[in-house]
A and B are shown apart, each in its own frame.
Chain A
Amino acid sequence: MLKVNELRISYGDFKAVKGVSFEVERGEVVGLLGPNGAGKSSIMKAIMGLVEFEGEVKLMGKEIDFEAKNYIGYVPEEPLLIENLTPAEFFEFLASIRGKGAEKAVKLSKIFELEKYATQPIITLSMGNRKKVSVIAALMHEPDFLILDEPMNGLDARSSRILKDFMREHVERGAILFSTHVMEIAEKLCDRVIVINKGEIVAEGSVEELKEMAKMESLEDVFLKLTSEEGISFA
């Protein structure tokens, strides 16, 4: 469904991503794991066209143009919102641009318990509620492919559970690429994980495969070993 080939991203002289290639198939949840500054968010931003890059990014065999964005839902690490609008106004704007998603936004607002803040400007909302707005904005048009950058950050336990359930449900008809620092979440949700360190893939496979390769009990131990200074790689 998503094909990333030899992706390179530089910020001035700093090479943030150094020739990363991977694929995400329909029906798959792929986790991008890595320490801070490894290049996870940069990869996601490149897929969304938010940063300049070299290499190839294709969704369903086509380059990601403006039409393809109808099929993608993106939750950035820092919510991308219009803060002087209320959630209702923001969803109305998005639904009008995409031509769909109004009813789903109302439904999701109820599910995420955001309805009571519907007419309060986003700037006055707590971080958690802003994150909920960002999540609903990404899900409301029922996209096939979800790109979630640290989606659970800032969400309360109930909302995290709702989102996890939603992800499981979603993957039956689409695919998900998401990043997280929480290994337990990755272990429970991911069909496959890609571990990135210093802009390069150092391991890729199912959680069980990685544990077996590293001969370790938990994904956390595998992750710590892979991202340690010695620079071990199973890629």
Chain B
Amino acid sequence: MSFDLLRTLPLKDDEIAVVRFMVLFRIFDIPLVVIAVFYPLITCYFYGIKALIPSILSIVSLEIISIYIAIRLARLFYEKIAYSTGSTFSTILRVLAYFLWAIAFMGIYMASSLVEMLSKKNYNLMKYDFIFPVNYATISCGIFDFKAVISSAVFIILSYLAYKKLCSELSKEAKIRVQTGKMKIKVSKPIVAFIKKDLRVVTRNPGATLLIFMPMIEAIFMSYLNVMKGFLIQAMITSVVMGFLPMVVLIFSGMEKRELLKTLPVKNRTVRVSKTVIGCLVYLSVLIPLIFRTFISLALFPAVLTMSAASSYMAEKLDISRNIQTESIKAILVFLVCYTILYAPVICGFIVHFLKPSYELVAITLAGIAELPLAVWFLANER
């Protein structure tokens, strides 16, 4: 939201800061409303009416501290990292920074979940009063003692200070670090140029970066869980991991500025091939951790290639722009086609598993290869 308009009105900086804070608070409105209504109700049900005020206070203080941490980190990343130069090193640095950001922001929720888990195991929480948000010290143990009251007060004061600091931070405009550097241009082939451009654009967008690397994170996580035994489990886990891929290709396809492309001597095929390569590259990052646990991931590679080609072709024909939320019908259509292409070989594998076990991989591979002519059609079609 642009706050420049507010600055032209007879409003004080403090008042503008409060509006900004409320706008930020609104970003989290749905989870907040759910938590603010249901959490006090649930705690009251378990601990009685005395838990009402501490539970509301805990939600408010926890949210303010969380938002403060998120904003501080966002400032840091946007000012110093998101808009850094285009070198390969800084692109890698940006991706790593986003992971740290996500972990730090979610850390406070993880910590509070951990406390809940510990309290259920009847650990002696009173020893650790000061590290827990207000309600855990007072409600979870079911007693009000001096230490609990002090720790609660500390949290409330901390959240008040965070709120004041946040308001003063928000009254200042974010400063983007101005970087000066030499104009260096390294010409490459058009397909490579599209891939480089896409990776540069996406690594300057924290949300998109995390979404694109989500399949890889999920694959690493899954591959180290000791549950990938038997064809059915392996196929299901691989299918879940692959579920993100159509979204990834669609994000990259939607990123194209179609108007700009129309002014350039570029063939539609070049754009589609570049998106397909990106889809396959993302899948390769998934494949590497999974391949040590199951060969299904390798057998599905032709289906992923076909799906990527189909997704980029449909995004171009349906003119899906970057904001796919506003074009949900088109996006659903693309997803339906993509998931059909992606999961048809898996379904073949399931059928063969029940008819003739140990031939599943062959079935998946053959079904995937059978889809390849479709990929060629999507990529080569110049209409």
Contact = CB atoms under 8 A, between A and B. Distances in A.
Interface of A: 48-50, 66-70, 72, 74, 80-82, 84-89, 91-99, 102, 105-106, 109-110, 115-121, 123-124
Contacts, number: 111
Contact of A105 (B178, B185, B193, B204): B185
Nearest to B181: A119
A99 B260 contact: no
B201 A69 contact: no
Contacts of B189: 96
Given A80-B257, A116-B180, A118-B181, A85 B86 contact: yes
B216 to A, nearest CB: 22
20 contacts: A50-B259, A66-B264, A70-B265, A82-B257, A84-B201, A85-B86, A88-B181, A89-B86, A92-B188, A92-B196, A94-B264, A95-B185, A96-B192, A97-B193, A97-B264, A102-B185, A110-B183, A116-B180, A119-B85, A120-B83
A124 B178 CA distance: 9
B83 to A, nearest CB: 5
A87 B190 CA distance: 18
Given A80-B257, A120-B83, A98 B265 contact: yes
Given A85-B86, A120-B178, 17 more contacts: A49-B263, A66-B265, A80-B259, A80-B260, A81-B260, A82-B260, A87-B183, A88-B86, A91-B183, A93-B197, A95-B187, A102-B187, A110-B183, A118-B182, A119-B86, A121-B83, A123-B83
A119 B188 CA distance: 19
B183 A118 contact: yes
A213 to B, nearest CB: 36
Contacts of A87: 183
A136 to B, nearest CB: 10
Contact of A119 (B179, B186, B262, B265): B179
Contacts of A86: 85-86
Contact of A69 (B187, B193, B264): B264
A96 B263 contact: no
A120 to B, nearest CB: 6
Interface string B206-224: 0000000000000000000
Contacts of A109: 183
Given A91-B185, A105-B185, A49 B86 contact: no
B330 interface: no
B329 interface: no
Interface in B139-192: 176, 178-190, 192
A82 B181 contact: no
B200 interface: yes
B205 interface: yes
B313 to A, nearest CB: 18
Contacts of B197: 82, 85, 89, 93
Contacts of B83: 120-121, 123-124
Interface of B: 83, 85-86, 176, 178-190, 192-194, 196-197, 200-201, 204-205, 257, 259-260, 262-267
Contacts of A96: 187-190, 192-193
A124 B176 contact: yes
Contacts of A89: 86, 196-197, 200
B183 A105 contact: yes
A211 B257 CA distance: 43
A84 B259 contact: no
A84 B91 CA distance: 13
Contacts of A123: 83
Nearest to B183: A118
A48 B259 CA distance: 9
A74 B184 CA distance: 23
B147 to A, nearest CB: 50
B278 to A, nearest CB: 15
A50 B205 CA distance: 28
A64 to B, nearest CB: 10
B121 to A, nearest CB: 47
B263 A74 contact: yes
Nearest to A115: B183
B267 A66 contact: yes
A42 B262 CA distance: 15
Nearest to B382: A66
A49 B204 CA distance: 30
A99 B187 contact: yes
Nearest to A140: B185
Contact of A84 (B176, B188, B204, B264): B204
Nearest to A72: B263
Which 6 pairs across A and B sit closest by C-beta, in order of nearness? A96-B193, A119-B181, A118-B183, A102-B185, A69-B265, A84-B201
Contacts of A88: 86, 181, 183-185
Contact of B193 (A68, A93, A115, A117): A93
A74 B262 CA distance: 11
Contacts of A66: 264-267
Nearest to A141: B265
A92 B178 CA distance: 20
Contacts of A106: 183, 185
A99 B204 CA distance: 26
A69 to B, nearest CB: 4
A166 B178 CA distance: 29
B66 to A, nearest CB: 27
